[in-house]
Structure 1
Amino acid sequence: MPNVPARCPTLLIAAPASGQGKTTVTAALARLLTRRGWRVRVFKCGPDFLDPHWLALASGQPVDNLDLWLNGERDVAARLHAAASENDAILIEGVMGLFDGEPSAADLAMRWRIPVLAVVDASAMVGTVGALAYGLRHYRPRLPWAGVLANRVASDGHAAMVRAAVEAAPDGETAVGWLGALPRQAAFVLPERHLGLTVAAELPDALARLDAVADALAFTPLGLMDEAGWQRWVAEFASEPSANEPTPQFLYGRTVAVARDAAFAFIYPANVQMLRELGAEVVFFSPLADEPLPPCDAVWLPGGYPELHAAALAAATRTRETLAAHVGAGRPVWAECGGMLALCAGITLVDGVRMPLWGLLPGEVSMHSRLGALGPQAWRTPHGELRGHTFHYSTLQTALTAVAHTMPARAHGRTEAVYRHGSIQASYFHAWFASSPRATAALFGAEVGQ
């Protein structure tokens, strides 16, 4: 079957640094276009669980992560090709600053010739916004470019001065491209806590917040652009034929139960998709609602915020008892980061208060106000290399001896331990299942061979 490239208007929304408003602008733009009847697919660069909640709310579609190291180029190409085949526009939110990380958001833009929209927080600047925009535009030769949007301007006059600075590029150049400004308003702020943005589903006014920003965006040059204008940002995506090869059905006939609620919200949609491609039936349950473990062959306890819900988790006796019975029967459990914490004997919060937890994994957890670890990781299992990342504000004290360690992808990174206790395997490591379907299937008890 011929590999026919798919074409679609596409923007990568980037910034000089974190905290400039990339998620707000990306979500608002997705909401604005979706309200017009466009089918919009949004992606997030790099490993991230929290921004995608807002982007999914805005677009009405699942949000996958794109990272040239985590996914691999073939996987990224396949996801972009599929999205371009089925949507009217693709939006990709960058990570950190445009050129930060290895690989960076700029690397992704360069690889597929995706135009970059730069969001710059102009709240404490005027002329320097022009310098930043010009630098972002020209720092890497031949970087595809769409323009710049100034965020958090104080007034119409401030916006006019920032626009003049952006358009006053050296040597008479005007290619930086002014796409408008958004005002600084409290209603436009997406609330944060440790690890990142508050999960959108926890805020009753989440959609109203996005609508408010979308309403403001509608009057900018970017928001006023029609379908013909968006055609200047068309990108072309080809998918390698090998990306369409079927996934071996290692988990066929098995049921994997996945914890999913406000305490266990760090779930890549692509991971659930991979479990299904492996042949598993995926069912969900809520420990916070004290739901019993559904009939299943294996359990996945993903990351999240058990520290915010420790009292409710400790009181979830039906969940704990059925999970204990599952472990007692020797059925596998994969617990990552927050999922691992929930299995421990207890957790000491930042204020020094200790809360009991499920006590199915020997160990005590301590929460800290400072970041404990962050970065991409690879776990070289006997069945293949699983890639993923680590991001946590806690430490684990346990008498268990690690059965393996992940390897950081960066020279400055630190390893993460992988523990085994009976049928439980646990780590701070968040896995990207598609990086090794065979290793993923083995995590959930499949016989996959070497």
Structure 2
Amino acid sequence: MSACAALLISAPASGSGKTTITAGLARYHRRMGRRVRVFKTGPDFLDPKWLESASGQPVYNLDLGMVGADGCRQLLAQAAAEADLILIEGVMGLYDGTPSSADLAIALGVPVLAVISGKGMAQSFAAIAFGLARFRDGLPFYGVLANRVGSLRHAELLQQAMPADLRWLGHVAAETALSLPERHLGLQQPAEIDDLDARLERAAAAIATTALAQLPPQVEFATPAATTVVPPLLAGKRIAIARDAAFSFIYPANLDLLRAMGAQLVFFAPLADEALPAACDAVYLPGGYPELHAATLARNHTTAASLRAHVAAGRPLVAECGGMLYLAEALTDVAGECVAMLGLLPGQARMQTRFAALGMQVVESEQGVLRGHTFHYSTFATPLTPWRVAANPDSGKAGEAWYRHGAITASYMHAYWPSNPQFAAALFL
């Protein structure tokens, strides 16, 4: 068992500033010389990139459904053994979703910080804080931070209205420069922001003026009694993974699992027109933003030729979401412009302005259940018959199709491979 200061940062709703505040906390305490580990609640890929930039450490996902309670405890126990502070950014509002951020906080015993936007409010701010703290018995509620506050007088009004038994942790002024830019799948990627470091430093400076400059309470994190021993199912296998601005939606835990199973991981950048690394046994094309780089991908013949040769040789290729769009015959953007893709998977992909699917997914196989999620703004019309069809674990409704076409396995589903190592290994064999 390891003890570490820890805090789960939540809010009444999405858009309240959780990511900015969490990044500011991570950068401030890192600047103070503390070892900070940050986690993200839910299956998000984009918020973790900002949090990694702020903390200087990989950011892993915590989700009671996708990762499992024991998986979450294992990750936190490992972090607590080496960190001075653990921060967990919540998802949506504190009580939203099944499981919710509140469910996670209660299961793990991590105190909750509520980040509440004060914009357009005075005394009603306190009513929201009261509701978040009292809505569910057993929630380890730590305190409240007022975000987007208009002035010192505004902050005084908010604080004066607070119940005496709710901890006021300070306020952050409404400053546009602290906000993080967004696009259709969420936040922009940090590598695209010229003033990234300056934004993080401003967020850290804002935290320095609050009570959050002090470490939160210590939490005891126990390693689960039963730990799964991962068999070396991929020993000696060399797996090439696309990784650049177009293909960046990769769970660190997935890479850890491949390495634990004995695989050697090598990386290549399709946007730079790089060929596959030599002597690859398998390829992984993760999700990302191929639609933003479709013209460049269409011109990059070196990457295309090496991927075609790989598939023609009958070697496995696993593609998720954006990776699957890259394999399609063509991709049409929201303006109606059609760009030829690799043509390795029969079908046409089309972007739209509204998301096409969102939610948790499970898929059955001979190896058992594999868990993950889906979130995309495109559709894929294909004559292929699905090899497997995932389902929503809550409603039981049919979810994303999995396709098998020669050496290719492709789906919109973003799989969390540690949920079923045997299934994951089989994809690459």
Q: TM-score range by the shorter chain?
A: over 0.9
Contact 1:375/1:413 (8 A) holds in 2: no
User: What does residue 98 of structure 1 align with?
Assistant: 94
Aligned residue among 418, 423, 426 for 2:407:
423
State the match for 1:122 in structure 2: 118
1:57 is aligned to 2:53: yes
Asked whether the 8 Å contact 2:348–2:381 carries over to 1, the reply is: yes
Q: What is the SS of the residue equivalent to 1:288? A: helix
**Match runs of 1:337-416 below 5 Å:** 337-411=321-395, 414-416=398-400
Tell me how far apart the structure 1 counterparts of residues 126 and 86 of structure 2 sit (CA, whole Å): 27
CA distance in 2, matches of 1:126, 1:347: 49
| Residues 126-153 of structure 1 deviation map (CA, whole Å, 9 limit, x = unaligned) | 1111001010001111210110001111
AA partner of residue 73 (structure 1): A
> In the TM superposition, what whole-angstrom CA distance separates every residue of 1:367-392 from its partner, at most 9, and x where no partner exists?
01011100000011112211000000
In 1, are the aligned partners of 2:330 and 2:349 still within 8 Å (CA)? Answer: yes
Cα distance between partner residues in 2 of 1:160 and 1:184: 15
- Alignment-derived partner of residue 145 in structure 1: 141
Q: Distance in 2 between matches of 1:370 and 1:60?
A: 34
Whichever residue aligns with residue 262 of structure 1, its letter is A
Whichever residue aligns with residue 293 of structure 1, its letter is L
Matched, 1:8 2:4: yes
Q: For the residues of structure 1 that align with 2:369 and 2:395, how far apart are their CA atoms? A: 18
> Which residue number in structure 1 is paired with residue 277 of structure 2?
294
Tell me what 2:197 maps to: 207
Between stretches 406-415 and 79-88, larger displacement belongs to: 406-415
Q: Distance in 2 between matches of 1:142 and 1:72?
A: 20
Displacement of 1:204 = 2.1
Q: Contact 1:256–1:300 at 8 Å: present in 2 too?
A: yes
CA distance in 2: counterparts of 1:394 and 1:70, whole angstroms: 23
Match for 2:271: what amino acid?
L
Shift of 1:412: 7.6
Aligned residues: 428
Identity of aligned residues (%): 53
Q: Is the 8 A contact 2:330 2:343 kept in 1?
A: yes
Tell me the alpha carbon deviations over residues 144-175 of structure 1, each in whole angstroms, 9 at most, x when there is no partner.
01100011111111111111122xx2xxxx22
CA contact (8 A) 2:350 2:378 kept: yes
Which structure 2 residue ranges, 5 or more long, are not aligned? none
Of the candidates 179, 182, 204, which is equivalent to residue 189 of structure 1?
179
Letter of the 1:416 counterpart: E
1:283 is aligned, of 266, 274, 292, to: 266
Pick aligned residue for 2:253 from 240, 256, 270:
270
TM-score where L is the length of structure 1: 0.94
- Tell me the alpha carbon deviations over residues 20-64 of structure 1, each in whole angstroms, 9 at most, x when there is no partner: 000000000000000000000000001000000000000000000
- Residue 405 of structure 1: SS of its match in structure 2? strand
Partner of 1:448: none
Shifted more, 118-127 versus 30-39: the winner is: 118-127
CA RMSD of aligned residues (A): 1.0
8 Å contact from structure 1 (residues 112, 236) kept in 2: no
Cα offset, 1:410, TM superposition: 2.3
1: CA distance, partners of 2:169 / 2:212: 5
Paired with 1:329 and 1:104, the residues of 2 have a C-alpha distance of: 45
Of 404-413 and 432-441, the range deviating more from structure 2:
404-413
> Residues 118 and 148 of structure 1 are in contact (CA less than 8 Å); yes or no, is this contact kept in structure 2?
yes
Deviation of 1:76 (Å):
0.7
Q: Report the Cα distance in structure 2 between the residues aligned to 1:285 and 1:76, rounded to whole angstroms.
A: 30
Determine the C-alpha separation between the residues in 1 that align with 2:361 and 2:193: 32
- Of stretches 351-360 and 25-34 in structure 1, the one that deviates more from structure 2 is 351-360
- Alpha-carbon distance in 2 for matches of 1:79, 1:142: 23
1:434 equivalent among 418, 423, 426: 418
Aligned partners of 1:211, 1:43: CA distance in 2, in Å?
20
Misfit runs of 4+, over 4 Å: none
Aligned partner of 1:159 among 129, 149, 155: 155
Q: Decide which of 291, 309, 312 is 2:293's aligned counterpart.
A: 309
Q: Report the Cα distance in structure 2 between the residues aligned to 1:406 and 1:207, rounded to whole angstroms.
A: 40
What TM-score do you get using the length of structure 2 for normalisation? 0.98
SS in 1 for 2:247: coil
Structure 2 vs 1, CA of residues 368 and 413 (structure 1 numbering), >3 Å: closer, same or farther?
farther
Aligned counterparts of 2:235 and 2:24: Cα–Cα separation in 1: 40
